[in-house]
């Protein structure tokens, strides 16, 4: 790729919009993931008693187990959301930009 074609791509308004959308989606999903993860770690650090409470009397399962599973499952869901967005929107936008700038 020549410096001229790279300059053409970087100055293309559709490419700039594409990069902005990707950054926005990535940032939102990252903030949600970090909030989930560090929120759970915060519970472990500051409220072990809450996590150690039994779900039901006589149950061996504590509240911490479904919360931990929820953090893992929600991480998968967030990954799935990003993959869905990338496959349905982002990839199409990349193709349009490539076609327009000759990539």
Q: What is the pLDDT of residues 66-85, one digit of tens each?
A: 999 999 999 999 999 999 99
Q: Indicate the SS3 state at residue 81.
A: helix
Note whether residue 85 is domain-resident: yes
Q: How far apart are CA 39 and CA 34, in angstroms?
A: 8
Note whether residue 17 is domain-resident: no
Note whether residue 91 is domain-resident: yes
99 token code pair: 């076609």
Residue 51: which domain range?
22-101
91 token code pair: 């990839």
Note whether residue 1 is domain-resident: no
Note whether residue 93 is domain-resident: yes
CB 25 within 8 A of CB 85: yes
pTM, entire model: 0.79
Share of the chain above pLDDT 90, in %: 61
Quick check: 35 pLDDT over 90?
Answer: yes
Query: Token match 């990338």: residue?
Result: 86
Note whether residue 6 is domain-resident: no
103 pLDDT band (50/70/90 cuts)?
low
Task: Please give the pLDDT value at position 96.
Answer: 82
Note whether residue 47 is domain-resident: yes
Give how many domains the chain has, as a whole number.
Answer: 1
Note whether residue 81 is domain-resident: yes
């Amino acid at each position: 790729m020549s410096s001229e074609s790279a300059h053409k791509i970087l100055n293309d308004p559709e490419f700039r919009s594409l990069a902005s959308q990707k950054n926005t989606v990535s940032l939102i999903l990252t903030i949600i993931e970090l909030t989930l993860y560090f929120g759970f770690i915060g519970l472990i650090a500051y409220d072990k008693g809450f996590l150690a409470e039994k779900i039901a009397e006589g149950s061996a399962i504590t509240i911490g187990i479904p919360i931990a599973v929820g953090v893992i499952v929600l991480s998968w869901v967030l990954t799935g959301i990003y993959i869905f967005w990338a496959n349905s929107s982002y990839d199409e936008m990349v193709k349009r930009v490539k076609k327009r700038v000759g990539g």
